[in-house]
Amino acid sequence: MLDYDFMRTAFAASGVVALVAGAVGYFLVLRGQTFAGHALAHVGFTGATGAVLLGAAPLWGLVVATLAAGIGMGAAGERLAQRDVAIGLVLALALGLGLLFLHFYTAFATQATALLFGNVLAVDSETLRTLLALGAVSLAALAVIARPLLFASLQPELAEARGVSPRLYGVAFLALVALATAGCAQIVGVLLVFALMVGPAATAQRLTGGVGSGVALSAALALAEAWLGLALAYYTDWPTSFWITALSAAVYLFAHIRVGA
Amino acid sequence: MSAIILRDVRLALGGRVVLDRVSLDIPAGAFVGVLGPNGAGKTTLLRAVLGLVPPRQGTLRVLGQPPSRGNAAIGYMPQARGLLATLPLRGWDFVAGAVNGHRLGLPVLGKLERAEVDRVLDLVGAGALARRPLTDLSGGERQRLLLAQALIGRPRLLLLDEPLISLDPHHQHGVVDLVKSVQRELGVTVLFSAHELNPLLGALDLVLYLGGGQAALGTVEEVITGPVLSRLYGAPIDVVRLGGRIFVMSGGHDMEHDAHRHDVAEAGHDHA
Ligand SMILES: Nc1ncnc2c1ncn2[C@@H]1O[C@H](COP(=O)(O)OP(=O)(O)OP(=O)(O)O)[C@@H](O)[C@H]1O
Ligand SMILES: [Mg+2]
């Protein structure tokens, strides 16, 4: 399986994306902002289709659109970032616009499927380099802000009194979520970003009550699910995104049954 | 020495004046019950002391200094939110999240920082509690952890915003006794906001009663009287003493108890 170039690229790409998604996703779930993450992915769809229309790489459209939306949502305040109706409307509008952009583009069906459901086997070496760079930047940024971010997430009023601005870290964090989302969209597609961003994190929080152990477990689970999904896809010839979502859901369910008992 | 001094202070939020022309001195080492109906400005006053709500007028001094954000000499327990009960964390990790939480970097605690977490947990007798997940704790047990968190960094002034919210009378007394014993042991000044006076009666040195944009500070005998409270509520108030308990009544209604009931409904809402 690893004799093939495209498989090695796929393993590397999904590996780095999964690590970022697992770590960032831990804080996303902790902060109760999973729906905001979902909406960012949809905005990414608009960005990607817009980029395709302009003849640019979809990944850059994804990055630019999610970053802009993430920072905008963060600046609008914690409250908006958790407000379902506003987010839901943005989400629907974003998908609709993306559809319009695709309408003007000729190779409609393949592009749409790849963006919506991912196509990790089609990642080329240039995209891989971009993903590696984005991943390194995201993880480094998270490592720098993790401590005040955790404080502001757990105790916003106390953090504010201690001179930590929950607003500032809210914006910085959603920018990170935007980068992680753009990466995930390359692997599992915008519709299935939950599988890597939320599934492993929610499972980890179910299994451990520690912060350090939670982040580590979340990243490890995401990595394992992504790689195992890729291997299963190779042997079954079923889509990778299906296997990753199936593993993510199964592991979450298993953790629930085990701990819930 | 005074822990907090207000001179002709006006506090406002948006366009709304919450406290106006308030002057008072809170002596160091006192246990002060901050009372008043919903919206009277208890939280706003505490946030002003923290430097989060700058006075529109007048001067405010906290431990001899103008208020400033990030003052490590102040411990703060924010008004409880339902969120705490749903956090997927062990108590220890929750309390630890506030230790040097303003520093950049990974949230990995050094040896001294871990010792600080254990110290504050021991102070409130929550060493064993802290090993359990927050979701498994009772409201009173979670308040214990919040109090521990407020004690991080050895503050000289403790601001506790409604620690008794949604606790039954038995647990209310447990929390009040705990705060009182911590206050005695550490010699700190405590501002303890609450809706009801009675649970605090045994612990209080002074009452700070807020209402109608005004404030009255003094002993229970000085402040909890018909004339003073009538001025604050802007309506005729009767104070009824019954078997060691005090009831603040307006036209036959128990004001504090009504406010408290309203609050329990709110807290229940949060959990849903
Ligand atoms: N952002 C705001 N803009 C304008 N007014 C506000 C704002 N936030 C709060 N207020 C008002 O300020 C007043 C004081 O609120 P505060 O929270 O200090 O009262 P409180 O005594 O703590 O009440 P509670 O018992 O309900 O906690 C309230 O009437 C409230 O409606
Ligand atoms: Mg309040």
Give, using CA atoms, the residue closest to atom 25 of ligand 1.
B38
Residue A250 lies in a domain: no
Report the pLDDT averaged over residues B69-76: 92
User: Is any Cβ of chain A less than 8 angstroms from the Cβ of B258?
Assistant: no
Determine phi and psi for A240, rounding to 5 degrees: -55, -45
Total residues belonging to chain A: 261
CA–centroid distance, residue B87 to ligand 1 (Å)? 26
Pocket test for ligand 1, best of B9, B16, B20, B22 (most atoms within 8 A of CB): B16
Q: Is the CB of B36 under 6 A from ligand 1?
A: yes
Could you say which residues of chain A have pLDDT below 50? none
Report the pLDDT averaged over residues B68-79: 92
Which residue on chain B is closest to A205 by alpha carbon? B88
Residue A234 lies in a domain: no
| C-alpha dist (Å) from residue A200 to A10, A39, A140, A222, A247 | 20, 19, 20, 5, 10
pLDDT band, very low/low/confident/very high, at B64 (cuts 50, 70, 90): very high
By C-alpha distance, which of B184, B191, B221 is closest to B36? B191
CB contact at 8 A, A65 and A47: yes
By C-alpha distance, which of B201, B190, B184 is closest to B49? B190
**Token pair of A208 as six digits:** 């451990």
The alpha helices in A55-165, defined as continuous H runs, are 58-75, 78-81, 84-103, 108-117, 125-154, 156-161
Put the strands of the sheet holding B214-218 in their side by side order. B74-77, B157-161, B189-194, B31-35, B206-211, B214-218
Least CB–CB distance from A210: residue in B83, B93, B100: B93
Residue A23 lies in a domain: yes
pLDDT at B266: 43
pLDDT at B255 over 80: no
**Token pair of A61 as six digits:** 């459209």
CATH 3.10.450.710 fits B29-55+63-73+155-272, yes or no: no
**Token pair of B8 as six digits:** 């002709």
Q: Where in chain B is the domain with CATH 3.40.50.300?
A: 29-55+63-73+155-272
pLDDT at A21: 94
> What's the rounded Cα separation, in Å, for the pair A19 and B188?
46
pLDDT at B272: 33
ipTM of the complex: 0.88
Residue A212 lies in a domain: no
Report the pLDDT averaged over residues B120-125: 92
By C-alpha distance, which of A246, A201, A237 is closest to A221? A201
pLDDT at A95: 82
Interchain CB contacts (distance < 8 Å): A and B: 94
Which of B162 and B167 is assigned the larger pLDDT? B162
3-state secondary structure of B36: coil
> What's the rounded Cα separation, in Å, for the pair B176 and A98?
58
pLDDT at A108: 59
Least CB–CB distance from B101: residue in A30, A144, A164: A164
Report which ligand 1 atom has the smallest distance to the Cα of B44. 18
CB contact at 8 A, A39 and A191: no
pLDDT band, very low/low/confident/very high, at B265 (cuts 50, 70, 90): very low
Percent of chain B with pLDDT over 90: 61
Give the number of whichever ligand sits closest to the CA of residue B259. Answer: 1
pLDDT at B268 over 50: no
pLDDT at A105: 73
Q: Is the CB of B42 under 6 A from ligand 1?
A: yes
Residue numbers in B near A209 (CB within 8 A):
88-90, 93, 133-134
Put the strands of the sheet holding B57-62 in their side by side order. B16-27, B2-13, B57-62
pLDDT band, very low/low/confident/very high, at B57 (cuts 50, 70, 90): very high
Residue A108 lies in a domain: yes
User: Is any Cβ of chain A less than 8 angstroms from the Cβ of B107?
Assistant: yes
Interface contact B52-A162, CB threshold 8 A: no
Residue A68 lies in a domain: yes
CA–centroid distance, residue B200 to ligand 2 (Å)? 17
Residue type for position A160: E
Q: CB neighbours (10 Å) of residue A241?
A: 22
Pocket test for ligand 1, best of B10, B17, B18, B197 (most atoms within 8 A of CB): B18
Over the stretch B178-191, which tens digit does the pLDDT of each residue have? Answer: 999 999 988 999 99
pLDDT at A118: 81
Report the pLDDT averaged over residues B132-148: 90
User: Is any Cβ of chain A less than 8 angstroms from the Cβ of B94?
Assistant: yes
Over the stretch A173-221, which tens digit does the pLDDT of each residue have? Answer: 999 999 999 888 888 888 788 889 999 999 999 999 999 999 999 999 9
pLDDT at B34 over 80: yes
> What's the rounded Cα separation, in Å, for the pair B167 and B177?
14
Q: Is the CB of B43 under 6 A from ligand 1?
A: yes
Interface contact A147-B106, CB threshold 8 A: yes
pLDDT at A260: 63
Report the pLDDT averaged over residues B30-53: 95
Give how many domains chain A has, as a whole number.
1
pLDDT at A54: 86
- A97: domain range? 5-193
Over the stretch B200-250, which tens digit does the pLDDT of each residue have? Answer: 998 999 999 999 999 999 999 999 988 898 888 888 888 888 888 888 887
Give the CATH number of the domain where residue A172 resides. Answer: 1.10.3470.10
